[in-house]
């Protein structure tokens, strides 16, 4: 596998392109690559790794062979003032000249999306310079494009005739993004994927040999069972100790199906359930949660990993209510802390994480989520079983980030370069 690398005068130079800003409110896509870069800095130096983010600032070295690099966007979505809400700004330009100049110096380019400036620039440079191009799936951009365009139209036109006349636009936008993804995949020499549908798409386009598994990791020194966590969380936020504590982690918006969770919680309370919703994250629907649940919700905002671990350890259940997920770190972090996980069956999170036996899937409807919350609150034996399955998964199946970096990514990169 490494025969082609033996005569290299330097460590193989890898550029990873994350066309999103780094920062406190960054989502799982960014955090995934932060974790991998930190792992690359810890393990013996097999590669020279530069992870590119959108933004300004000097390089941030993690080790002599690992660094973050920042390039300002050419045409950021932040310039589109008519967009009422964007989860994370990215670069819509078809080409990024400064990035193109820098990419020529790398031995392999790894993209983490297919639609935006970094990825489109990488295609052109890789084709022109014959540099191997590899990609991995992190965000279901076509699905989110449809969701957020639909939300934008509904906010502007309501549910009336104008909305119905324009309802084809979100579907059309998703189809465009799907086509762009397919074109990008055909230009790649290798693909890493978690979800079954992403593996199937890549296999149809590239064949079995070029499609590789991709996992999530967890830092088990941070995310660990903490029996005393609940009393501390109750005291900090004024939560009743007897309340069934439901945890939500992520962007507080329609893309993560917060409206469904809110209505399911309201229905459960109407059925007599003593429920409290604890939210870790920010977003435009925080006010909706407060208006609906009042004292039964606590919105804690962005929290540090150590505090998030306490949330998981304290909660009676984590609600992964989004139908659009590619893996999702929060599910595995919760399992590592011994927290039962309820996940939408439509997202295939349990399958993607390889944790089907440890997570309980819920059909994507308000009524199904309300029933699942009530059932879990009333059935202590079921909760105990889910806790034990979570802890068993932690001990036998859960990888750390060093293993994910070495066995999934570095292995594929070196094989691609050696081939």
- Domain for residue 377, yes or no? yes
Which residues 6+ apart lie within 8 Å of 168 measured at CB?
none
In this structure, the answer to whether residues 189 and 268 fall within a common structural domain is no
> Which two structure tokens, joined as six digits, stand for 178?
């799907």
In a domain, 198, yes or no: yes
On whether residue 32 sits in a domain, the answer given is: yes
Same domain (yes/no): 202, 235: no
Per-residue model confidence (pLDDT) at position 1 = 38
Confidence at residue 61, expressed as pLDDT on a 0 to 100 scale: 98
Same domain? 206 vs 267: no
pLDDT at 86: 59
Domain membership of residue 221 (yes or no) is no
Domain that includes residue 321, residue range = 229-396
CA 384 to centroid of chain Cα atoms: 28
Q: What is the pLDDT of residues 59-109, one digit of tens each?
A: 999 999 999 999 999 987 777 665 655 566 787 899 999 999 999 999 999
Please report the beta strands in 2-143, taking only residues with DSSP state E, as ranges in sequence order.
13-18, 48-54, 60-63, 66-71, 108-111, 133-136
Together in a domain, 246 and 130 = no
Q: Residue 304: which CATH number?
A: 3.40.50.2000
Tokens 């392109």, residue? 17
Whole-model pTM: value is 0.88
Same-domain pairing of 117 and 257: no
Confidence (pLDDT) at 231: 97
**How many structural domains are present in the chain?**
2
Do 192 and 299 share a domain, yes or no? Answer: no
What are all long-range contacts of 166-170, with beta carbons under 8 Å and residues at least 24 apart? 170/145, 170/146
Shared domain check, 235 and 142: no
Q: What is the DSSP letter of 172?
A: H
The end-to-end CA distance of the chain, in Å, is: 7
For residue 89, the model assigns a pLDDT of 75
Residue 179: predicted pLDDT: 97
Short-list 221, 251, 237, 198, CA closest to 29 = 251
Instruction: Assess whether 278 and 406 both reside in one domain.
Output: no
Residue segments in the chain with a per-residue pLDDT below the cut of 50 = 1-4, 6
Helix (H, G, I), strand (E, B) or coil at 77: helix
**CA separation (Å) from 76 to 19, 80, 241?**
10, 8, 46
């Amino acid at each position: 596998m490494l025969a082609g690398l033996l005569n290299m005068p330097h460590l193989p130079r890898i550029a990873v392109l994350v066309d999103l800003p780094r920062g406190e409110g960054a989502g799982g896509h960014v955090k995934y690559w932060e974790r991998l870069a930190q792992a690359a800095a810890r393990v013996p130096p097999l590669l020279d790794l530069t992870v590119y983010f959108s933004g300004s600032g000097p390089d941030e070295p993690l080790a002599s062979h690992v660094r973050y690099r920042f390039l300002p966007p050419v045409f950021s979505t932040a310039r589109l003032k008519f967009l009422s809400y964007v989860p994370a700004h990215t670069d819509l330009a078809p080409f990024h000249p400064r990035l193109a100049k820098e990419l020529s110096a790398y031995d392999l380019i790894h993209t983490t999306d297919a639609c935006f400036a970094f990825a489109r620039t990488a295609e052109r440079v890789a084709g022109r310079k014959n540099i191997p191009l590899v990609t991995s799936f992190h965000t279901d951009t076509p699905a989110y494009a449809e969701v957020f365009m639909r939300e934008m139209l509904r906010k502007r036109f309501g549910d009336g005739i104008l909305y119905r006349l324009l309802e084809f636009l979100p579907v059309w936008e998703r189809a465009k993004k799907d086509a762009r993804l397919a074109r990008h995949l055909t230009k790649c020499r290798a693909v890493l994927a978690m979800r079954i549908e992403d593996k199937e798409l890549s296999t149809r386009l590239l064949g079995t040999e070029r499609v590789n598994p991709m996992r999530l990791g967890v830092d088990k020194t941070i995310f660990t069972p903490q029996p005393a966590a609940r009393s501390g969380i109750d005291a900090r936020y004024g939560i009743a100790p007897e309340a069934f504590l439901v945890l939500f982690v992520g962007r507080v918006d329609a893309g993560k199906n917060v409206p469904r969770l809110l209505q399911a919680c309201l229905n459960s309370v109407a059925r007599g359930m003593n429920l409290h919703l604890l939210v870790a994250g920010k977003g435009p629907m925080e006010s909706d949660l407060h208006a609906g649940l009042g004292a039964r919700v606590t919105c804690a905002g962005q929290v540090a990993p150590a505090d998030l671990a306490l949330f998981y350890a304290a909660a009676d259940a984590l609600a992964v209510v989004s139908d659009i997920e590619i893996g999702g770190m929060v599910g595995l972090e919760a399992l590592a802390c011994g927290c039962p996980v309820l996940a939408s069956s439509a997202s295939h999170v349990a399958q993607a994480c390889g944790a089907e036996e440890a997570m309980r899937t819920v059909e994507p409807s308000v009524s199904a989520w309300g029933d699942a919350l009530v059932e879990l609150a009333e059935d202590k034996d079921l909760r105990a079983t889910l806790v034990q399955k979570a802890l068993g998964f932690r001990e036998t199946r859960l990888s750390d980030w060093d293993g994910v970096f070495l066995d999934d990514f570095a292995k594929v990169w070196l094989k691609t370069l050696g081939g």
